[in-house]
Amino acid sequence: MLSVVMISTGEEVLYGDITDTNAAWLSAQLFEQGFAMTRRVTVGDNYEALAKEIEMCSLSADIVIVNGGLGPTSDDLTAASAAMAANVGLEQSNAWVDEMTAKYKQVGRVMPAANLKQAMLPEGAELIDNPVGTACGFMMQLNRAWLFFTPGVPSEFKVMVNDQILPRLKTMFNVTNSKVCHRLYTYGLSESGISDLFQSLTLPETCSLGYRSSLPFIEIKLFAPQDDCQVPILLGNMIELLGDNIVGEGCDLLNTIANLLTDDATLVLSEQSSGGFAVNWLQDVSSLSARLVVSEVMADSIDEQACVEELSTLIALRAQRLHLHAPATYTLTTGPSLTEGGFMLGLSTPDGCWCQQLMFKRQYNNYNRRWIISTVLFDMLRRHLQGKDVFGCYESLDRVASEHL
Amino acid sequence: MLSVVMISTGEEVLYGDITDTNAAWLSAQLFEQGFAMTRRVTVGDNYEALAKEIEMCSLSADIVIVNGGLGPTSDDLTAASAAMAANVGLEQSNAWVDEMTAKYKQVGRVMPAANLKQAMLPEGAELIDNPVGTACGFMMQLNRAWLFFTPGVPSEFKVMVNDQILPRLKTMFNVTNSKVCHRLYTYGLSESGISDLFQSLTLPETCSLGYRSSLPFIEIKLFAPQDDCQVPILLGNMIELLGDNIVGEGCDLLNTIANLLTDDATLVLSEQSSGGFAVNWLQDVSSLSARLVVSEVMADSIDEQACVEELSTLIALRAQRLHLHAPATYTLTTGPSLTEGGFMLGLSTPDGCWCQQLMFKRQYNNYNRRWIISTVLFDMLRRHLQGKDVFGCYESLDRVASEHL
């Protein structure tokens, strides 16, 4: 198996002040192309430490992707470190000087002298074009490894990896097991619950499964060879096993809802225990937020005595009142918080009204509580739109009561 | 200088599926205690790769903190890897078996056999107590380094580092430059803007500055020796230079507002361009959300003709209407989105009403736009409560118009 290492540079990443989103993105891209990342190293802006790291990695890895430190300032040291590791000097790439000069000219400016530093590459290195910035990449062979040097700015990094580095890697290493990733988004099952369900699945050797839990959802990734004729059957089996806990195939819950709504459907939200989480979340999908007529957030006060009859009356009254003010196709409601982690939800549609009272089985912080409440609220609408039972089964929640009016 | 390395384990961290929050937390803790992290390595759940990593690090580092892989399942391999690296066997810690048995007994359960694995430590390793879980830590010396093995669960990791590991490190390495971190939260200045402002500052050699930008805020961290008499003067100078762009000293904007509000103050929010971001954000601070009387989110539609007169009329009308329905001390309003990245904000107080129309100088995605709009909205209230000019200076925004009614 190929050994693929990523070296990230920079104090901000080392100290965890910023998340290394490039690393997450790169490992996913590499995996889909048949290269699995084996190791990741992060070092600060230290010339010698980085040189040593590059040298060490070049001895044991086949592919090394170095990210960051190609800027024009004095703490951008990657090219110098690479030269030190390879025991060569730096030389100016006139091609890149011309390129930068042209880029500055295009925006009516003269290139600052500081940028010349960005054209200084280790002797013998091959330039890698950066069509969207002044930090060019470069590649060189050292010991066992091919080293690729890339800029830290995510947009520049991504273009360079996609357009320049991955095609080269595929040619150089003749990797034939590039894969397609099929995604299923689920809500309501735990990771171990899903893996229990999948025990009956026979996974072909060419396929692999990955999970990514981003509370409250679990995204299931099936990596499979392109055009593999077993995949449609396998995916079909997975979908059958997961049942109505699938909130989206290839897209998330809110986008699934957006795709299901008819053109003229409108929404009204009335939130209490979810505290505005639902309406704010809705704004992430513009085709949903465009359907919002109005939304209200009422102060939340723990209601100690709510029972299901009161609940349904409350939800019905609120939907009625809202309907008078701002008629909409669907009204989604979260009621007051109840004692012991309870909450109530209502969905009012042209076909009737559904209410339920649920309870958390474990403790969550306030933010996650609002997120989960909003998730179940939207899941009621998704289920209704798909003609499924509006009251789903959720591993982490108990249903205390439910009513269909 | 001491060489301090962290090794994180686990496919989820390696592939970037989850953020390594332990790393960020640890590097901050170590730094405050006078140990700067020099390098961080992430490897997957691979027995031999981890053993090799541990061995390599033990040759060049003084302190190695290994995180994760101490659980009871088959992919938890850290203890075995440590034993392999040190070329010793594993032996059962009877003390830890007793401890786990007692923990299970306390919750009325019998310890599953799988947990016995968690008491298998490399020969000669010293056990490190985990008061909050079944994964004990351990420490051992190998080559140049002291190795510390810690559980991946953040709550367990933090207790172990704080209560067990940091005190040992301080004794073992006699580090005397432990530091206190003073935090200032700012909004409206860029990092380079702040660093320009700070050019006149003389930073004593014992102090250092750190920035952490978490859009839209920049947190400024001053690391200084405990009881350093120069610090109050230095901090005072920093505060003077940053002026009213400081949204909080030691706490963030919303907590600053929460601390400034009088006991009987209440809030009403009416949102349009911010799409519910403000009300949802407010819920993170319970002493603020408790003051919320009601909130509304109206559909946003780009208004092409708004001018400041209409703006002030609109804000005033909305505040009036809301005041009739739900009287509150402060009403905060965001108006419709305007062409070319404009937005309008209103603050209505017992002392008068302020409105302003601002424009983004650069493009942001929808989420960040809502965040920034909400930030400026709350900043108006913060400024009013502190007796400062309600209309602040923000580097990334242009003020198109403003009015005080």
A79-97 confidence digits (pLDDT tens): 999 999 999 999 999 999 9
- The verdict on a CB contact (< 8 Å) between A39 and B16 is no
B38: exposed, middle or buried (Cβ count in 10 Å: 0-12, 13-18, 19+): buried
Do residue B49 and residue A38 have CB atoms under 8 angstroms apart?
yes
Partner-chain contact A16 B31, CB within 8 Å: no
Look at residue B246 in the predicted model and tell me its pLDDT. 97
Please indicate, yes or no, if residue A309 is contained in any of the structural domains: yes
pLDDT score of B307: 62
User: CA B21 → CA A17, A66, B8, distances in Å?
Assistant: 10, 22, 11
Match 């390129």 to its residue by tokens: A99
Please check whether residues B115 and B198 belong to one and the same domain. no
Amino acid at B160: M
CATH number at residue B98: 3.40.980.10
Kindly give the pairing relationship between strand B208-214 and strand B217-225.
antiparallel
For residue B196, the domain's CATH number is 3.30.70.2860
Residue of B nearest to A36 (CA): B15
- The answer on A307 and A284 residing in a single domain is yes
Mark whether A376 and A362 lie in a shared domain. Answer: yes
**Chain B residues with CB-CB distance to A298 below 8 A:** 294-295
Q: Is the ipTM of this complex over 0.90?
A: no
Residue where one domain finishes, among candidates B124, B139, B173: B173
Establish if A255 belongs to a structural domain: no
B240 and B265 part of one domain: no
Quick check: A309 pLDDT over 70? Answer: no
Q: Cβ contact (<8 Å) for A41 and B42?
A: yes
Q: Are strands A4-9 and A39-43 parallel, antiparallel or unpaired?
A: parallel
- In this prediction, residue A177 carries a pLDDT of 67
Poorest-confidence range of A255-269, A387-401, B82-96, B185-199?
B185-199
Q: Which residue has the higher pLDDT, A313 or A260?
A: A260
Q: Is A402 left (phi over 0), alpha (psi -120 to 50) or beta?
A: beta
CA distance B5 to A43: 10
Chosen from A7, A14, A362 to mutate, greatest number of chain B CBs within 10 A: A14
Residue B37 distance to chain A (closest CA, Å): 7
How far apart CA B179 and CA B172 sit, in angstroms, is: 18
CA distance B94 to chain A (A): 30
Among B145, B173, B201, the domain boundary falls at B173
> Residue B404's CB: how many other CB atoms inside 10 A?
12
- Residues from chain B that touch A17, judged by Cβ atoms under 8 A, are 24, 210-212
- The mean pLDDT of chain B is 89
Q: How far apart are CA B237 and CA B196, in angstroms?
A: 14
From CA B363, how far away is CA B341, in angstroms rounded? 8
Q: Find which of B4, B5, B12, B17 to mutate to test the A interface (most A CBs within 10 Å of its CB).
A: B17
Q: Tokens for B131, please give them.
A: 């008061």
Q: Flag if B16 and A14 touch (Cβ within 8 Å).
A: no
CB pairs under 8 A between A and B: 157
CA atoms within 13 A on the CB side of B279: 39
**Residue B130: predicted pLDDT:** 95
Interface probe for B, chosen from A18, A161, A279 (most Cβ of B below 10 Å), is A279
Q: Please tell me whether residues B23 and B49 are part of one structural domain.
A: yes
Nearest neighbour of A49 by CB, restricted to B38, B46, B276 = B38
Average pLDDT over residues B3-15: 87
Chain B CB contacts of A21 under 8 Å are 16
Mean pLDDT for the stretch of residues B161-170: 94
Cβ contact, residue pair A43, B44, below 8 Å = no
Please check whether residues B373 and B388 belong to one and the same domain: yes
**Maximum Cα interatomic distance, chain A, rounded to a whole number of Å:** 80
Residue type, A260: L
* Among the partner residues B14, B41, B279, nearest to A27 by beta-carbon distance: B14
| Cβ(B384)–Cβ(B377) below 8 Å | no
The residue of chain A nearest to residue B52, with distances taken between CA atoms, is: A60
Number of compact structural domains in chain B: 3
pLDDT of A136-188, one tens digit each? 999 999 999 999 999 988 889 999 999 999 999 989 987 766 778 899 999 99
Tell me: do B123 and B30 sit in the same domain. Answer: yes
Domain boundary (A250, A284, A306) is at: A250
Looking at the structure, tell me whether residues A113 and A71 fall in a common domain: yes
We report the CATH number of the domain holding residue B280 as 3.90.950.20
Task: Using CA coordinates, name the residue in chain A closest to B27.
Answer: A15
pLDDT band at residue B59 under the 50/70/90 scheme: very high
Residues of A in contact with B282 (CB under 8 A): 275-276
For the sheet with A292-298, list strands across it: A397-404, A352-360, A342-349, A330-334, A267-271, A292-298, B292-298, B267-271, B330-334, B342-349, B352-360, B397-404
Element (H, E) at B343: strand B342-349
For residue B115, tell me if it sits in a domain: yes
Closest-CA distance of chain A to residue B404, Å: 28
What phi and psi, each to the nearest 5 degrees, are found at residue B389? -60, 125
With a cut of 60, say whether residue A304 has pLDDT above it.
no
Q: Please indicate, yes or no, whether residues A42 and A71 belong to a single structural domain of this protein.
A: yes
Q: Mean pLDDT throughout A256-285?
A: 95
pLDDT confidence of residue A255 = 97
CB contact under 8 A, B289 and A277: no
Q: Do A24 and B17 touch (CB under 8 A)?
A: yes
> Which of B167-181, B293-307, B353-367 is the least confident region?
B293-307
What 3-state class would DSSP assign to A81?
Answer: helix
Taking the C-alpha atoms of residue A2 and residue B287, their distance in angstroms, rounded to an integer, is: 55
Nearest to B356 by CA among B405, B298, B294, B295: B405
Q: Is the pLDDT of residue A73 over 70?
A: yes
Assign residue B133 a region (left: φ > 0; alpha: ψ between -120 and 50; beta: otherwise).
Answer: beta
A319 or A205: whose pLDDT is higher?
A205
With contacts defined as CB-CB under 8 Å, which chain A residues touch B20?
16
Smallest CA–CA distance, residue A259 to chain B, in Å, is 20
| Predicted pLDDT of residue A55 | 96
Cβ of B16 within 8 Å of Cβ of A38? The answer is no
Q: Judge whether B166 lies within some domain.
A: yes
| Residue A307 pLDDT | 62
Looking at the fold, whether B31 and B160 belong to one and the same domain comes out as: yes
Region B214-220: mean pLDDT is: 84
Query: Residue B17: its pLDDT value, please?
Result: 66
Nearest residue, CB atoms, B40 vs list A14, A17, A25: A14
- Average pLDDT, stretch B90-115? 91
How far is the C-alpha of B51 from the C-alpha of B35, rounded, in Å?
25
In a domain, B255, yes or no: no
Confidence of residue A333 (pLDDT cuts 50, 70, 90): very high
Higher pLDDT, B217 or B226: B217
Q: Give the best residue of A19, A273, A283 to mutate against chain B (max B CB count within 10 A).
A: A283
Is there a domain that residue A256 lies in?
A: no
**Window from A8-12, A185-189, A286-290, B266-270 with minimum mean pLDDT:** A8-12
Helix (H) or strand (E) holding B59: helix B47-60
Q: Which residues contact B392 (CB under 8 A, 6 or more apart)?
A: B188, B244, B245, B376, B379, B383
Residue A393, classed as helix, strand or coil, is: coil
**With an 8 Å Cβ cutoff, are A28 and B16 in contact?**
yes
Q: In this structure, are residues B142 and B58 in contact, taking their beta carbons and an 8 Å threshold?
A: yes
Looking at the structure, tell me whether residues B240 and B354 fall in a common domain: no
Q: Is the pLDDT of residue B242 over 80?
A: yes
* Residue found under tokens 């290195």: A125
* Residue B314 pLDDT: 73
- Mean residue pLDDT of chain A comes to 89
pLDDT above 70: percentage of residues in chain B: 96
* pLDDT at res. A303: 61
Q: Is the per-residue pLDDT at A24 higher than 90?
A: no
In a domain, A348, yes or no: yes
Q: Establish if A303 belongs to a structural domain.
A: yes
Residue A94, min C-alpha distance to chain B (Å): 31
CB B35 within 8 A of CB B146: no
**3-state SS class at A403:** strand
CA-to-CA dists, residue A206 to A180, A227, A230, angstroms: 11, 12, 10
Angle at Cα A316 formed by Cα A276 and Cα B292, nearest 5°? 30
Q: Which residues in B lie closer than 8 A to residue A41 (C-beta atoms)?
A: 39-42
Contact B41 A43 (CB under 8 A): no
In a shared domain, residues A362 and A394: yes
Beta bridge mates, A120: A92
Counting runs of H as helices and runs of E as strands, what totals does chain B give?
A: 14, 18
Q: Would the pLDDT of A359 be above 70?
A: yes
Query: Closest residue of B to A39, CA-based?
Result: B43
Full domain range(s) for residue A374: 261-404
B314-344: per-residue pLDDT in tens?
Answer: 777 777 777 777 789 999 999 888 877 889 9
What is the rounded average pLDDT of the residues B63-83? Answer: 91
In B93-160 the beta strands, taken as DSSP E runs, fall at: 120-122, 126-128, 137-142, 145-150
Contact B41 A42 (CB under 8 A): yes
C-alpha distance from A172 to closest chain B C-alpha (Å): 23
CB contact under 8 A, B40 and A39: no
